[in-house]
Amino acid sequence: MKHGKWLSRISLLFFLVATLLSGCGSPPPAKETAAPVNLTVSAAASLKDALTEIKDLYGKEKPNATISYNFGASGSLQQQIEQGAPADIFISAAPKQMDDLQAKNLIDTTTRKDLLENKVVLISAKDSAITGFSDLAGDKVKKLALGEPQSVPAGKYAQEVLTKLNLAEGVKEKTVLAKDVRQVLTYVETANAEAGIVYETDAKVSDKVKIVTRAPEGSHSPVLYPGAVIKDSKNAKEAGEFLKYLQGPAAKAVFEKYGFTVLSK
Q: Which residues are annotated as a binding site?
A: 46, 74, 154, 181, 199
Q: How far apart are the first and last CA of the chain?
A: 84
Give the H or E element holding residue 113: strand 113-118
SS3 state at 160: helix
Cα-based distances in Å from 52 to 42, 109, 162: 12, 25, 32
CA distance 118 to 115: 11
SS3 114: strand
DSSP string computed for 55-95: HHHHHHH-TTEEEEEEEE-HHHHHHHHHTT---SEEE-SSH
Residue ranges of the binding site for molybdate: 46, 74, 154, 181, 199
Candidates 185, 176, 170; CA nearest to 143 is 176
Q: Which residues contact 134 (CB under 8 A, 6 or more apart)?
A: 165, 167
